[in-house]
Amino acid sequence: MSNKLNTPKGTRDHLPVDVRKREYIFKAIAKAFQSYGYQPIETPSFELSSTLMGKYGDEGDRLIFRILNSGEKVKKADVQALQNDELAKFANSISEKALRYDLTVPFARFVVQHQNDLCFPFKRYQIQPVWRADRPQHGRYQEFYQCDGDVVGSDSLRNEVELIRIIKQVLSGLNLPGFTIKLNNRKVLSGIAEVCGVEQELIALTVALDKLDKIGKEGVVDELVSKGFSQEVLDKIDPLFGLEGSFETRLEKLKVFLRGSEIGLKGLEELSFVHSKLQDFDANHELLELDVTLARGLNYYTGIIIEVKAHEVEMGSICGGGRYDDLTGLFGLKGLSGVGISFGADRIYDVLNSLNLFPASLSEGPEVLFLNFSESTADQCDVWANVLRSRDHIVEVYPSASKLQKQMKYANDRGAKWVVFYGDEEAAKQQVVLKNMSDGTQTSYSAGSWINEWLG
RNA sequence: GAGGUUGUAGCUCAGUUGGUUAGAGCGUCGGAUUGUGGUUCCGAAGGUCGCGGGUUCGAGACCCGUCUUCCUCCCCA
């Protein structure tokens, strides 16, 4: 091999065993969404750049993969812009399409475009890959699957409740032993900023707060100081760092903190409602956590925000979401509220893998492998194999009459449960020999009726 | 986008202050064993030392660039 082969940065191949594991995750997610009446949709891998650009903030725009124009369109290149060092303008002149960055913005486009064909409230789920031109890191890829579920056209908080139930159903179904569903509300964050008199610096404040569990209180304070926040503000938010206790306890403390902010109290009311509807499954107060430092970067969220962390493994959030009051407004359809969550299938994969939580049955090979001794006996084996397949068994016939040792090694490597011997010797005696590969025992059956006898 | 790190056989890795023909284990293939796997023994194939340039009598090793790996930051699933 002259060139070193590799997949592009941040991408991976998936071996058969990996694909089975991923399908196991996708199935659990799809099943949960379906059980709540969510319907599947798909959208194209790429969108018009104008659909995506400007929806994720400057950071997001930088991470969107652009698709180069082809053919005659190359001539549209704005060389003047390049010479003037106007790189964004130049990029727009050579690219009109881009790979989708997430599933939410394309979904908003989808809803606006097909509003006459949809029945609202519209609940959909979508499992497709997305692409980000990010630096790869642990649990971060340039191509990864998102599994989104959203409801649009209903501002009822019961949708939030439902989505949280779905999260629990999925992660419990995957036997993930420990995870925390963190909740916050953009309105609470706005309220905090209001109480502190720094409404204009809301983003800087929340971005710093968001890092609390990572860099600690001192780190957050340092960052706020460097961003120019006054000592007065730091003193005011100090109680937020020490927020402890149950969901209810934190709610009460925050009610005091936010008593001067109408919007902040509204946010607390929403959180309280959602929490009260989930008492049954959070009886031990282990799943739901009110975390005022939870911010989430995407700036289209306006209400409750959700983030899920797995315990016992270093990994970013495995699921996130929230309410956005006017996402479709970006595309001209006003007044349609939505709420959604997004499972990071690749991160869930990494978590389940490192905790060894995939069922062993996923890697099983064929149930039955027919050895190949000759053309004529293999033809007979094909007939039997098709009978077994019609009865839902996974069956292979070895394709050529290779040395038996080689065929047996194949059976072993593939993890075949049973191997069928039907060669000239067996044909002469009108019998079939079945070998159990796990204990090595062999049993003879009459060639005319062995399938029924064997299957009992 | 900033900083650091990595790359030698299909895989995991040795390779001395720069010095003849670059090694091992595993895997693969062949044989011991022409109808019986997971164990054993013997043998073989497999390398532009990531790629490009430079320094040097001489580079896998040193320098520069580039791509890739992993990590920290930014941001995020």
Segment A257-304, tens digit of pLDDT: 999 899 999 999 999 999 999 988 776 677 899 999 888 766 788 999
Percent of chain A with pLDDT over 70: 98
> What average pLDDT does range A95-102 have in this prediction?
92
Strands A179-185 and A288-290, how do they pair?
A: parallel
A437 neighbors A422 (Cβ within 8 angstroms):
no
**First and final C-alpha spacing in chain A:** 52
- What are the residue boundaries of the structural domains of chain A, listed by start? 6-65+101-178+311-363, 184-287, 364-455
Q: How far is CA A3 from CA A6, A8, A9, A12, A14, in A?
A: 9, 14, 16, 18, 21
CA A10 – C1' B50 distance (Å)? 17
CA A3 – C1' B54 distance (Å)? 22
**A270 Cβ nearer than 7 Å to chain B strand:** no
Nearest residue: Cα versus C1' of B70: A137
Structure tokens, A213: 């569990």
CA A4 – C1' B22 distance (Å)? 18
Between A93 and A433, name the one with better pLDDT. Answer: A433
ipTM reported for the complex, 2 dp: 0.84
Segment A121-154, tens digit of pLDDT: 999 999 999 999 988 888 889 999 999 999 999 9
Per CATH, the homologous superfamily of domain A364-455 is Anticodon-binding domain (3.40.50.800)
CA A98 – C1' B10 distance (Å)? 36
**Rounded CA gap, A60 and A49, in Å?**
13
**CA-based angle A51:A57:A63, to the nearest 5?**
75
Beta bridge partners of A344: A146
Nucleotide with minimal C1' distance from the CA of A319 is: B77
Nearest residue: Cα versus C1' of B77: A344
**A139 Cβ nearer than 7 Å to chain B strand:** yes
Return the pLDDT at A298. Answer: 61
Spell out a b/e string for A396-435, using b for 16 or more CB atoms within 10 Å of the CB, else e.
bbbeeeeeeeebbebbeeeebbbbbbbbeebbeeebbbbb
A83: left (phi over 0), alpha (psi -120 to 50) or beta: alpha
Segment A160-199, tens digit of pLDDT: 999 999 999 999 999 998 899 999 999 999 999 999 888 8
Residue A82 has pLDDT above 80, yes or no: no
**CA-based angle A375:A381:A383, to the nearest 5?**
110
Residue owning tokens 């005696």: A429
**A114 Cβ nearer than 7 Å to chain B strand:** no
CA A49 – C1' B55 distance (Å)? 48
Q: How many CA atoms lie within 13 A of A101 on its CB side?
A: 24
Residue A3 has pLDDT above 60, yes or no: no
> What average pLDDT does range A209-226 have in this prediction?
85
Give me the phi and psi of A263, to 5 degrees please.
-70, -40
Structure tokens, A113: 């475009």
Of A56-70, A293-307, A403-417, which one has max mean pLDDT? A403-417
Poorest-pLDDT segment among A1-10, A78-87, A232-241, A269-278: A1-10
**Rounded CA gap, A235 and A227, in Å?**
16
Return the pLDDT at A2. Answer: 39
A296 neighbors A279 (Cβ within 8 angstroms):
no
**A365 Cβ nearer than 7 Å to chain B strand:** no
Nucleotide with minimal C1' distance from the CA of A62 is: B1
Residue A1 has pLDDT above 50, yes or no: no
Mean pLDDT of chain A: 90
Residue owning tokens 């725009």: A61
> What average pLDDT does range A333-358 have in this prediction?
90
Per CATH, the homologous superfamily of domain A6-65+101-178+311-363 is Bira Bifunctional Protein; Domain 2 (3.30.930.10)
Return the pLDDT at A313. Answer: 82
Nucleotide with minimal C1' distance from the CA of A426 is: B35
Nearest residue: Cα versus C1' of B76: A297
CA A222 – C1' B5 distance (Å)? 28
**A214 Cβ nearer than 7 Å to chain B strand:** yes
**A344 Cβ nearer than 7 Å to chain B strand:** yes
Cβ-based contacts (< 7 Å) between A 33-92 and strand B: 57, 59-60, 62-63
Return the pLDDT at A47. Answer: 96
CA A59 – C1' B74 distance (Å)? 9
Burial of A439 from C-beta contacts in 10 A (0-12 / 13-18 / 19+)? exposed
Going by pLDDT thresholds of 50, 70 and 90, the confidence category of residue A5 is: confident
